[in-house]
């Protein structure tokens, strides 16, 4: 049985300086309970990989508490400066590094990390800053950028339901980055709404096979709203 | 009077036809879902194919049923859900007929800048670069000039690019413009707007036909 | 509505010299009805892309009737020569070309074709004939092979059930190559056991979104057994 | 007497422990499923995680429920199905603990040849190269010599390679051998087989300890 009693207990072994993937897209499928536990844990010097770190995003609490060394993300700094995040202030102060990645490239780099593909050629981003410092090559006459796989020490993900083997099903737009991240980290911790006996999920409906999931913790959903 | 945001969205929706697969960017483009003809299938890059307009009733907010802008939406019959890697395989692989994105600047050759204001720095790319690359047709919606009156349609973008030569059509509060091999062509003007006003607001050369039709909304 | 009355009608526009992907893994999820229709159609000079062309495989009928110019596959010629396929005889006679590909590389090349990735670096096959004539490069100190995307003019696939929009669900091991092939061909034709009204498939359970499927035809499953 | 195929499979099954994710190649390795301890999860590269031994009753044949060898199997509770691209992402990505493959030749440094007999040509790679690359541990099952008495364990493979230095353990009808940094080591011999017989049947130098234990089955 992979179940842990609390989100805090499920983070056992997560230490300073680790790279941490966090699934979720704004409010959908966000592992808010695990991120809050990581804030409580006080682990520092983290490289976080997640789609967004905006106003209202729980990840911004990691910035607030100075736990982040680097952020790899697609939504970082709002075009409007009317309200700012802790992350933005940290970044302006030079306290945290930022690697901004096109969203599809981020998803594909994570999938590649889980699929044993060290690098791939992407049509996205030539002639932009996303290609800066990267190798480019023509395929079919169009420029492409060499993108490298992303893996992490830990992935924090959220699913709707697990069985005791860790097989996961999601809900609505809750799959997003949770699915590829489950394949790309050495330690995968999933918070779920409920855990059902093995065999009660239809094998046709399982989205993440249980072999990808190391730890489970039951937590109610925390509906967080993004503010941009 | 320049068009309201709703009217810009309404005009953009006329570019859509039943059966098309369409991705809407965050902000202004999101409004298009409410005006699109029946049978258009909207794709949200966060993993939904087949959703409708933004739900106005906040009590209906479901954290797992949101569009790419984080707004609550509902699915239509025949919808499906998938992960971000599958979603961008769909986008990058050329399976999206039309993407409608917001813009900060567009060049006369169809370069788009929409993810960062240099004075602010940092930026948020989101799915814009992937959509600019993968969608078969790219429509940009934006106000013709900035709040401080600076042109957004330029000989060259001065902001960091989202993509080069990717824009096909621009719908603004003043006009509809098409990127053609010969240059940027004025296709329609908003009601109550003159060609001269459009030219004044455009910081780049335009191809202007003898007769410019009014936008139909 | 994408439904066609017969497998033969669904092949309208399939012409000599085209590249054809055929899903299925041995008996599982094999589009046997569509392949039989292609045999009846008599289309020639085809490049076929499929996991296997062995004894008992319906694809071997295409070889029998001299319709294949080239085969891209993972199971081609049995190690034992006690029984031979039409394909083997054609190949020995120099009448058909063979590109033999590791199975995972074949699947990934097809996925890449559908995902807009023109090429990727794979750890599979260096020091083997699978790497012959291909660019290699070290990642993490290990040699990798540059593999190119595969696309086709037509994909013939089989699913268990479709709705009227072409959303597909599969059965058991029937997903196999059908799923990536549905994304990688200009014209995708699916034979299915049944077609249900749009809205009757749960959006959480759909495996192939309908936008990937151009044509549907209802056909009973034809259980073919592989013999090696 | 050399071991039967069933006994080779039985010995190989002793390498497995509950919780392991294991892929079985076509042919001889398929038999291992019937002897494995409870809780081993078998992955079939055609898209099943969690299946059991081959069903003997032909009436139970279901074309969509087959292992990679095309043989009928049934799933266990907690099983899941997926596509070939997802299956090989699992394999290539290092998520398979053990692969057990058939072999034609293995070299003393763990090179494997198992997909083509040069005299026949053509060949069938299947998933062997992917498994040889991606599995954390690779066990090869084969008869120690060919039907015509030629050695399959060689200083260098003469057949086209499946992978270089990929084999960890070899289980044959005569012995168990381990590929080590120092060379190929004889670990166990089959009951009724002598070390001298193994050495005679092995066309390559072996590291032989003073005492060679008997295989436990």
Question: What token pair was written down for A191?
Answer: 């918070």
Share the mean pLDDT of chain D: 96
A136-195 tens-digit pLDDT: 999 999 999 999 999 999 999 999 999 999 999 999 999 999 999 999 999 999 999 999
Whether the Cβ atoms of residue B67 and residue B51 lie closer than 8 Å to each other: yes
D76-115 tens-digit pLDDT: 999 999 999 999 999 999 999 999 999 999 999 999 999 9
Residue showing tokens 């737009």: A173
Residue C114 belongs to some domain of the structure? yes
The pLDDT assigned to C55 comes to: 86
Q: What is the pTM of this model?
A: 0.98
Q: Does D130 touch chain C (CB under 8 A)?
A: yes
pLDDT at D64 over 70: yes
- CA dihedral for C20, C25, C31, C34, sign (positive or negative): positive
Q: Does D188 touch chain C (CB under 8 A)?
A: no
Please list every residue in chain C whose beta carbon sits closer than 8 Å to the beta carbon of residue A112: 120
Q: Does B93 touch chain C (CB under 8 A)?
A: yes
The pLDDT assigned to A172 comes to: 98
Residue A161 belongs to some domain of the structure? yes
pLDDT at D160 over 80: yes
Domain count across chain A: 1
Q: Please give the Cα distance from B97 to D166 (Å, whole number).
A: 45
Q: What is the distance in angstroms between the CA of the first residue and the CA of the last residue of chain B?
A: 15
pLDDT band per the 50, 70, 90 thresholds, residue A12: very high
Q: Which of D6, D15, D45, D216 is the catalytic position?
A: D45
Share the mean pLDDT of chain C: 96
Bridge partners of residue A73, in order along the sequence? A100
The pLDDT assigned to B124 comes to: 94
A74-102 tens-digit pLDDT: 999 987 888 899 999 999 999 999 999 99
Please list every residue in chain D whose beta carbon sits closer than 8 Å to the beta carbon of residue C180: 83-85
Strand order in the sheet with B183-189: B75-81, B48-51, B41-44, B21-24, B98-102, B137-141, B169-171, B175-180, B183-189
CB contacts < 8 A (A, B): 165
> Would you tell me which residues 37-96 of chain C have a C-beta closer than 8 angstroms to some C-beta of chain D?
51, 54, 74-81, 88, 91-92
The pLDDT assigned to D43 comes to: 98
Nearest to D22 by CA among D141, D173, D152: D141
Contact C176 D130 (CB under 8 A): no
A97-123 tens-digit pLDDT: 999 999 999 999 999 999 999 999 999
State mean pLDDT over A210-219: 98
Q: Please give the Cα distance from D49 to D27 (Å, whole number).
A: 19
Which portions of chain B are predicted below pLDDT 70? none
Lowest mean pLDDT among A165-169, C56-60, C95-99: C56-60
Whether the Cβ atoms of residue B89 and residue B46 lie closer than 8 Å to each other: no
D170-190 tens-digit pLDDT: 999 999 999 999 999 999 999
Pairing, β A97-100 against β D183-189: unpaired
DSSP structure string for A103-160: HHHHHHHHHHHHHT--EEEESS-TTSGGGTTS-EEEETTEEEEEEE---EEEEEEEEE
B32-73 tens-digit pLDDT: 999 999 999 999 999 999 998 889 887 888 999 999 999 999
Domain boundaries, chain B: 5-201
Contacts 24+ apart (CB under 8 A), B49-54: B49/B21, B49/B79, B49/B80, B49/B81, B49/B82, B49/B90, B49/C209, B49/C211, B50/B75, B50/B76, B50/B77, B50/B78, B50/B79, B50/B80, B50/C203, B51/B75, B51/B76, B51/B79, B52/B76, B54/B30
Kindly list the distances between the CA atom of residue D129 and the CA atoms of A115, A121, C102, C106, in Å, as whole numbers in the listed order: 15, 23, 6, 12
Q: Does A116 touch chain D (CB under 8 A)?
A: yes
C145-183 tens-digit pLDDT: 999 999 999 999 999 999 999 999 999 999 999 999 999
Kindly list the distances between the CA atom of residue D115 and the CA atoms of B144, C139, D102, D121, D167, in Å, as whole numbers in the listed order: 64, 26, 9, 10, 15
Of B116, B120, B129, the CB nearest to A81: B120
The pLDDT assigned to D59 comes to: 81
Whether the Cβ atoms of residue D179 and residue D148 lie closer than 8 Å to each other: no
Pairing, β D169-172 against β D137-142: parallel
Helices (H), chain D: 5-13, 84-92, 128-134, 195-201
Nearest Cα of chain C lies from the Cα of A80 at a distance, in angstroms, of: 33
B45 has catalytic annotation: yes
Closest residue of chain A to B64, computed from CA coordinates: A28
Nearest Cα of chain A lies from the Cα of C126 at a distance, in angstroms, of: 14
Of A118, A123, A140, the CB nearest to C121: A118
Q: Please give the Cα distance from C102 to C124 (Å, whole number).
A: 8
State mean pLDDT over A29-39: 97
D5-201 carries CATH number 3.40.1080.10: yes
Q: Does D85 touch chain C (CB under 8 A)?
A: yes
State mean pLDDT over D189-209: 96
**Interface residue of C102, C104, C108, C117 to substitute, partner A, most A CBs within 10 Å:** C117
Environment class of residue B148 by beta-carbon count within 10 Å: exposed (0-12), middle (13-18) or buried (19+)?
exposed
Pairing, β D75-81 against β D48-51: antiparallel
Closest residue of chain A to D20, computed from CA coordinates: A211
Of A28, A110, A126, the CB nearest to B46: A28
Residue C127 belongs to some domain of the structure? no
**Interface residue of C121, C128, C171 to substitute, partner D, most D CBs within 10 Å:** C128
Domain carrying residue C88:
2-77+84-121+151-218
Q: Does C115 touch chain B (CB under 8 A)?
A: yes
Closest residue of chain C to A174, computed from CA coordinates: C204
pLDDT at C198 over 70: yes
State mean pLDDT over D38-47: 96
Pairing, β B21-24 against β B98-102: parallel
Please list every residue in chain C whose beta carbon sits closer than 8 Å to the beta carbon of residue A121: 117-120
Nearest Cα of chain A lies from the Cα of C62 at a distance, in angstroms, of: 31
The pLDDT assigned to D56 comes to: 85
pLDDT at C228 over 60: no
Contact A139 C119 (CB under 8 A): yes
Q: Which of B45, B56, B178, B188 is the catalytic position?
A: B45
pLDDT at D217 over 90: no
The pLDDT assigned to C56 comes to: 83
Helices B84-92, C103-115: inter-axial angle, 10-degree rounding: 70
Residue C227 belongs to some domain of the structure? no
Q: Does A176 touch chain B (CB under 8 A)?
A: yes
Q: Does B35 touch chain C (CB under 8 A)?
A: no
The pLDDT assigned to A227 comes to: 66
Whether the Cβ atoms of residue D99 and residue D135 lie closer than 8 Å to each other: yes
The pLDDT assigned to A78 comes to: 85
Residue C189 belongs to some domain of the structure? yes
Please list every residue in chain B whose beta carbon sits closer than 8 Å to the beta carbon of residue A33: none
Pairing, β B98-102 against β A152-163: unpaired
Pairing, β A136-139 against β A142-148: antiparallel
Nearest to C226 by CA among C75, C97, C104, C87: C75
Share the mean pLDDT of chain A: 96
State mean pLDDT over C220-225: 80
The pLDDT assigned to B186 comes to: 98
CATH code where residue A99 lies? 3.40.1080.10
Question: What token pair was written down for D111?
Answer: 């090179």
Nearest Cα of chain A lies from the Cα of D140 at a distance, in angstroms, of: 22
The pLDDT assigned to A193 comes to: 97
Kindly list the distances between the CA atom of residue A118 and the CA atoms of A48, A96, A129, C121, C123, in Å, as whole numbers in the listed order: 20, 26, 22, 6, 8
Q: Does C109 touch chain B (CB under 8 A)?
A: no
Examine the predicted complex and report whether its ipTM is higher than 0.85: yes
pLDDT at C82 over 90: no
């Amino acid at each position: 049985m992979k179940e842990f009693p609390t989100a805090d207990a499920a983070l056992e072994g997560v230490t300073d300086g680790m790279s941490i993937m966090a699934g979720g897209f704004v409010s959908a499928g966000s592992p808010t309970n695990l991120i809050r536990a990581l804030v409580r844990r006080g682990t520092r010097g983290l490289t976080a990989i997640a789609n967004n770190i905006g106003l209202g995003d729980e990840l911004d609490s990691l910035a607030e508490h100075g736990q982040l060394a680097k952020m790899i993300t697609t939504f970082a700094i709002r075009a409007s400066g009317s309200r700012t995040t802790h992350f933005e202030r940290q970044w302006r102060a030079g306290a945290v590094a930022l690697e901004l990645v096109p969203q599809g490239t981020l998803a594909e780099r994570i999938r590649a990390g889980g699929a044993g593909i060290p690098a791939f050629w992407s049509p996205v981003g030539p002639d932009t800053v996303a290609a800066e410092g990267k190798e480019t090559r023509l395929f079919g006459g169009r420029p492409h950028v060499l993108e490298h796989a992303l893996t992490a020490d830990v992935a924090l993900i959220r699913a709707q339901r697990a069985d005791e083997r860790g097989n996961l099903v999601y809900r609505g737009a809750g799959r997003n980055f949770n699915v590829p991240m489950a394949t790309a980290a050495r330690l995968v911790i999933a918070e779920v709404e409920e855990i059902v006996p093995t065999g009660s999920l239809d094998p046709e409906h399982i989205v993440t096979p249980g072999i990808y999931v190391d730890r489970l913790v039951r937590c109610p959903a925390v509906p967080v709203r993004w503010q941009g | 009077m320049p068009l309201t945001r709703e009217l810009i969205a309404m005009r953009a929706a006329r570019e859509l036809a039943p059966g098309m697969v369409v991705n809407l960017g965050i902000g202004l483009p999101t409004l298009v879902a409410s005006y699109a003809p029946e049978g258009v299938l909207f794709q949200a890059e966060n993993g939904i194919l087949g959703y409708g307009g933004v739900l106005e009733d906040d009590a209906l907010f479901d954290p797992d049923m949101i569009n790419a802008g984080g707004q609550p939406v509902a699915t239509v019959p025949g919808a499906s859900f998938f992960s971000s890697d599958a979603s961008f395989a769909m986008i990058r692989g050329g399976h999206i007929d039309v993407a409608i994105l917001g813009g900060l600047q567009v060049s006369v050759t169809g370069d788009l800048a929409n993810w960062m204001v240099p004075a602010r720095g940092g930026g948020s790319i989101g799915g814009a670069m992937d959509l600019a690359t993968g969608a078969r047709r790219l429509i940009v919606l934006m106000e013709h000039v900035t709040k401080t009156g600076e042109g957004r349609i330029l000989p060259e973008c001065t902001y960091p690019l989202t993509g080069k030569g990717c824009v096909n059509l621009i719908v603004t509060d003043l006009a509809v413009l098409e990127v053609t091999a010969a240059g940027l062509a004025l296709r329609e003007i908003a009601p109550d707007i003159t060609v001269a006003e459009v030219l004044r607001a455009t910081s780049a050369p335009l191809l202007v036909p003898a007769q410019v039709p009014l936008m139909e909304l």
